[in-house]
Amino acid sequence: MKDLFDLTGKIALVTGASRGIGESIARLLASRGAHVIVSSRKIDACQAVADSIKADGHKASAFACHVGDMEQIDAVFEHIKNEFGQIDVLVNNAAANPYYGHILDTDLAAFDKTVEVNIRGYFFMSTAAGKMMKEQGGGVILNTASVNGLVAGDKQGIYSITKAAVISMTKAFAKECGPLNIRVNALLPGLTDTKFASALTTNDKVLKMALHSIPLGRVAEPDEMAGTVLYLVSDASSYTTGATIVVDGGMLA
């Protein structure tokens, strides 16, 4: 029987992959046979993850890309085209959340940075990958959104707004790219123990309130997000596109 989760021969680009959820995704995809391009803003951190993956006997390389910078987006896809000639999987996971506070006090710099990375970055990473996938006959795009895109997080206004946009973006790309054999889906993580979420997980009062609303009674580990991504980028989900899968310990139930 065919292994529906086998990614042998696939080229996968994972952004925000130097730590947290992105790193867990990169490691799992590599373990299933993909050559994973580990990407984030800092090349040293990317290279460390790529080297660790290779030390485990899998395929990986590193390429720095700040998805808020259009020239760097162009550069990473030019590199992929020249080095590999294909892109089978794009995981848009890099994100920005520079402001935690009342929505009325959001300043322009925080607004611009969050929108630049979480909306503009995801959009143009997806169009660049999608054009390559169209030429080669198909591919898969996975967006890391958030449960905040469904229910806005307290003191996380602009971040929540951008994640709602990512959910809408996922559906728009899925609708128009389905005829091109490009599937587009989204992972919606709940509270996860990462540096990115440290403003929540290190605040005892906030954490206690959050755990009260999570039926499983705990914060997720990054590895617990990667399995859903593997499903969505593999042949196991070959008839799934436009889906938004919530992985939140039951919080929204």
pLDDT tens per residue across span 101-113? 999 999 999 999 9
Q: Residue 198: its pLDDT value, please? A: 64
The catalytic site residues sit at 159
Q: Is the pLDDT of residue 200 over 90?
A: no
Distance CA 170, CA 64 (A): 24
Six-digit token string for 151: 């229910």
Residue 144 has phi, psi (to 5 degrees) of -85, 110
Q: Please check whether residue 246 is in contact with residue 188, taking contact to mean a CB–CB distance below 8 angstroms.
A: yes
The structure's pTM equals: 0.95
Q: Sorting pLDDT into bands at 50, 70 and 90, what band is 246?
A: very high
Tens digit of each residue's pLDDT (9 = 90 or more) over 164-188: 999 999 999 999 999 999 999 999 9
